[in-house]
Structure 1
Amino acid sequence: MPVALDPRPRPLDHLIDRGNASAPALILRSETLSYQDLRNRVARLAGWLLTQAGKGARVASWAAKGEVTCLLPLACARAGLVHVPINPLLKRLQAAHILADSGSDLLIGTRSRLETLNQGDLPPGCTAVAEQDLWDLAGEATPLGRSEHDPNDLAAILYTSGSTGQPKGVMLSHANMWLGAVSVAHYLGLEMDDITLAVLPLSFDYGQNQLFCTWYAGGAVAPLDYLMPRDVVKACARHGVTTLAAVPPLWMQLSEVEWPLDATRAMRRLTNSGGALTEPLVRTLRGLFPAARLFPMYGLTEAFRSTYLDPSLVDSHPTSMGRAIPFAEVMVIGEDGEEASNGEEGELVHAGPLVAQGYWRDAERTAQRFRAAPRTSTYGGTAVWSGDRVRREADGLLYFVGRRDAMIKTAGNRVSPQEIEEAALATGLVAEAVAVGVPDTKLGHAIGLAVRPAADFDEEMLKKALTASLPNFMQPRQMRRYDSMPRNPNGKLDRNAILLDFIQ
């Protein structure tokens, strides 16, 4: 039976209370942990964490999917600590920024990743522990029982790129993540016999929710770091997966490989966020998984998720964002601050208990994005003003129009153009650099880098330097050289003109 919609938030570590003790909860490569195993290990890990850091301290993780990265969010929450997951695709410079910005007191990561850090990359007083050594250290710790923390306490900081500058940390409470899990488990109709294949990074809110909503429903999660799309197909067949979440570029890849019957037979639902699905891709997925319900969704880290499209409407309204999810109030606000009329474009504003607590140690950017809810809001309080332009039709369905900022959304990742530009300038090989998002059928947007070369410019050296300093999803796919960069009448670099050069 699907879970009921309970609006009462609880401490995050209570998420694993609902599952049957002997039922599978976490399907790893070498073993399957039951809910009782999960409860025991979360208790012991939380007890050890308390010997390493005091309440409210930040605990960062930088490792691939596995037992530790799956359990840390709940163990940190139980211990009253704040979890800071770092995307394992990030490299030293990005990880060092997140560690410094969050002021992490403890870093748990794979030994190979820890060895890439230089002296000074860790904040003062921060201890690094290799994931491989963790259970030996925590094995003798005193288990910590279920917490009774205030659900409004800070529980996690998720770093997401802004339109300019370095990634910023979004502060999430126990209640934010708990109610997100309840909401998604309810509208997806998750049940105790469901098996979710977790292919998305656990450093994303969408990725973490794969765990949380499944565990809230009492189902099982199989984490997977895949190299090829065929790895996902094989895992679906091996585990009898019923629920698969992905972003459009991955769905595109998955739609191009063969899906045998044993990989699709058990599938009940597909979910998408991180970008819109195209109509042809929707048709392909419906053909590959005829018995599965398809849930297109829209979200932003600052408010977790805002909308979903009911599967019954996907065929008739394939480009719609749908309507607000449970616990979310979604408004379309015009330039005058009032609700836009049906069919008119406005800014998507999200209010309600899913709204995050702001940006970590960044009052200026918090004030820009987290502002008083519109006067017509039912929830009131603080709302997230997304900057995304949408319209609502007479039937209540929402449609995405465009983004106000300069963010590049590629392969489901939000990328700051400035971060790429700074990396290029740091090589000393270019005098000016502009990064833009070039429309791409598979990636959503591919990264284009325009440069004005320095005296000793060498394109191959620049590519090698960027490969060393930026993760794969931030690598430019196209590069253009200018003797004189396009500028607007104000003398600023003209991003629109540069983008047009890439497109033409």
Structure 2
Amino acid sequence: MSINCIRALIEKAALVCPDKIAVIDGAKKLSYGELSKKVNQVARYFSELELPSGSRIGIYSHKSYEQIIAVLAVLSTEHIFVPISRLLKAEQVEHIIKDCGISCIVTDKNKIKNIDAIDYNGKIMTYEASERDIVSFEEIYKCCSDVYTCNIGDYKNAAITYSFGLTGFPRGIVMTHRNLIDSARVVSNYLELKEEDVISGTLPFILDYGLNQLFVSIYHHATLALHSLVLPADFFNHLINDKVTVLPVMPPHITQMFDDSSRIPNAKLLQNVRIVTSSGGKITPKMIQDIEVHFKKAKFYSMHGLTEAFRSTYLDPAQLKIRPNSIGKPIPGVEIHVINEQGLECAPREIGELIHRGGYIYKGYWKSKEDTQKRYKSVDILKNIVNLEGDLTDEIVVASGDFVYRDEEGYLYFVSRKDDMIKVSGFRISPYEIESVVYDKLPSVAQCAVFSIENEKTEEEIVMVYGALREIPKNEILFELKKHLPNHMIPSIIVYKEKLPQTSPSEVKIDKEALRKEVLELR
């Protein structure tokens, strides 16, 4: 078995610290020894199903220590783990099942009826025993041996995660065992994680950011404390009661945490938290201030990742107040180039496409050669910049589709997605630039989405949709924006919604396509 796989970490933890608490799930606690035993039992059962090597096993359930066991059990076999958000609708679940040909689904009792609704013909397993003739983890623990060995190659496919694009249906990205352990290793390195850390498991185990919390915990023999972020008061109780020291979140979670000031505990009760990380969206000045005020001893890491690679950059906490809009510099093991249309490295402040070279690159899109070829390129696209000795051009890099620029000190700034750029009267406009001004100058705005609709006179018309506790007078918004943006960047349509839609219930990306349709219907 390769040392570069999560399975090797499980075996080492069970050997070195069997009594150390691995997982906290409310009142339940599981040691590394207990976790290893249960993982072995479930993995052994998977191996006895006689599924072909590389079969896809879906996990469609609530967050719990049983879900962790299921994830680690699949990763201990030659099969491929496919997380399915419990919040997805039946047709979205059916799309994932059919898209990657899932042979077996692990679920909880409450989700069986959802699986029945899509007429699934594969194998089904549940955590708890049910009235139906379905094998449960409870039965496996009673009957299956915990003696299990495996031989996993780090180059083999380990997981397929699905995220939503513009099509309305999610696309799968393929990760190897090496990808998973490399991402755990690099995050552990630059965050300086420790064995005594308690990491908050608030993020769902459906995308790489959430899954990474599980893997870095095992990597360091730390503790993962599970929690579902529903009510801010419960969330703060989780941080205090579980003695959380590392808090990974996404930007909307930060807003949600501090929405109701009456529920925020005294900062002294939150002094255990030494690290806060955020990825997947824009960090606003208010978010930075709230973290600084309430987590007084915490370092705040803002990070930028890609769908096609685990992570590209992070901003050193010491730079957060100096350049809050920066996405930072490359993480260890990554080389970032910003190239223009001529394939040359951009000068400082010149906007170009971010090219990710080096580690943490995933294998590509599942059953989508076109999408894979669009993003995964030969290193030859950097031939004008790097020395390709011996014509070695079989190395793969990621052409991210992100427009960025560097400042004079090498710090990177996100401008826009390639497909999101707006054209108005000959100007190319970044929605992100307008959104940044809104967040910075209108702190009462909790969510903001800027996009365009067609306009015969100006090519495109700029639309701003925002979410806030109350509607802000349009003149007040325009007055503020005109102080900081040129006239061609001022939205002509401004729409208030109490809450903006997401691309899916399990992701925190604002669904601009849904908003665009709403605006067009109102015209």
Contact kept in structure 2, 1:28 and 1:66, CA below 8 Å: yes
TM superposition shift of 1:261: 4.1
CA RMSD for the aligned pairs? Answer: 3.4
Q: Does the C-alpha gap of structure 1 residues 471 and 343 become closer, same or farther in structure 2, counting only changes over 3 Å?
A: closer
If the length of structure 1 is used for normalisation, what is the TM-score? 0.79
1:310 corresponds, among 287, 291, 316, to 316
- 1:355 match: 361
2:31 corresponds, among 26, 31, 34, to 34
After superposition, what is the alpha-carbon deviation per residue over 1:120-140, rounded to whole angstroms, capped at 9, x for unaligned? 542x5x112222233223222
- 1:73 match: 71
- 1:382 match: 396
Contact kept in structure 2, 1:240 and 1:263, CA below 8 Å: no
Aligned-partner SS, 1:234:
helix
Unaligned runs of 5+ in 2: 130-135, 422-430, 436-445, 452-461, 470-500
Aligned residue identity for 2:181 = W
Aligned residue identity for 1:405 = D
Aligned residue identity for 1:357 = K
Mapping of residues 84-483 of structure 1, within 5 Å: 84-118=82-116, 120-122=118-120, 124=121, 126-133=122-129, 134-139=136-141, 140-143=143-146, 145=148, 147-256=150-259, 257=261, 258-261=264-267, 263-373=269-379, 374-375=382-383, 376=385, 381-406=395-420, 439-440=465-466, 471=505
Aligned-partner SS, 1:156:
strand
TM superposition shift of 1:217: 1.3
- State the alpha-carbon separation in 1 of the partners of residues 333 and 513 from structure 2: 44
Contact kept in structure 2, 1:322 and 1:397, CA below 8 Å: yes
Contact kept in structure 2, 1:390 and 1:399, CA below 8 Å: yes
Aligned-partner SS, 1:301:
coil
Contact kept in structure 1, 2:108 and 2:128, CA below 8 Å: yes
- State the alpha-carbon separation in 2 of the partners of residues 354 and 470 from structure 1: 26
Unaligned runs of 5+ in 1: 1-7, 418-435, 444-466, 482-494
- State the alpha-carbon separation in 2 of the partners of residues 39 and 472 from structure 1: 29
Q: Does the C-alpha gap of structure 1 residues 9 and 319 become closer, same or farther in structure 2, counting only changes over 3 Å?
A: farther
Contact kept in structure 2, 1:9 and 1:175, CA below 8 Å: no
- State the alpha-carbon separation in 1 of the partners of residues 308 and 5 from structure 2: 20
Aligned-partner SS, 2:404:
strand
- State the alpha-carbon separation in 2 of the partners of residues 23 and 92 from structure 1: 39
Contact kept in structure 2, 1:306 and 1:324, CA below 8 Å: yes
- State the alpha-carbon separation in 1 of the partners of residues 24 and 52 from structure 2: 31
After superposition, what is the alpha-carbon deviation per residue over 1:154-207, rounded to whole angstroms, capped at 9, x for unaligned? 000000112335211100000111100000011111100000111111101100
TM superposition shift of 1:498: 4.9
**Higher relative contact order, chain-length normalized (CA < 8 Å, sep 6+):** 1
TM superposition shift of 1:472: 7.9
Task: Give the aligned length.
Answer: 435
- State the alpha-carbon separation in 2 of the partners of residues 378 and 71 from structure 1: 46
TM superposition shift of 1:497: 12
TM superposition shift of 1:394: 1.8
Aligned-partner SS, 1:349:
strand
- State the alpha-carbon separation in 1 of the partners of residues 282 and 404 from structure 2: 13
- State the alpha-carbon separation in 2 of the partners of residues 345 and 316 from structure 1: 21
1:21 corresponds, among 5, 18, 21, to 18
- 1:10 match: 4
After superposition, what is the alpha-carbon deviation per residue over 1:287-306, rounded to whole angstroms, capped at 9, x for unaligned? 11111000000112310111
- State the alpha-carbon separation in 2 of the partners of residues 389 and 339 from structure 1: 13
Contact kept in structure 2, 1:179 and 1:327, CA below 8 Å: no
After superposition, what is the alpha-carbon deviation per residue over 1:227-270, rounded to whole angstroms, capped at 9, x for unaligned? 21222101001011001111111101212341334641211100
Q: Does the C-alpha gap of structure 1 residues 215 and 403 become closer, same or farther in structure 2, counting only changes over 3 Å?
A: same
Deviating more after overlay: 245-254 vs 160-169:
160-169
Aligned-partner SS, 2:44:
helix
Aligned-partner SS, 1:232:
helix
- State the alpha-carbon separation in 1 of the partners of residues 194 and 269 from structure 2: 20
- State the alpha-carbon separation in 1 of the partners of residues 463 and 233 from structure 2: 28
- State the alpha-carbon separation in 1 of the partners of residues 95 and 287 from structure 2: 37
Aligned residue identity for 1:85 = P
Contact kept in structure 1, 2:103 and 2:123, CA below 8 Å: yes
Aligned residue identity for 2:39 = V
If the length of structure 2 is used for normalisation, what is the TM-score? 0.76
Aligned-partner SS, 2:365:
coil
TM superposition shift of 1:211: 0.8
- State the alpha-carbon separation in 1 of the partners of residues 59 and 192 from structure 2: 31
Aligned residue identity for 1:233 = F
- Larger-Rg structure: 2
- State the alpha-carbon separation in 2 of the partners of residues 13 and 220 from structure 1: 17
Aligned-partner SS, 2:42:
helix
- State the alpha-carbon separation in 2 of the partners of residues 391 and 358 from structure 1: 26
- 2:490 match: none
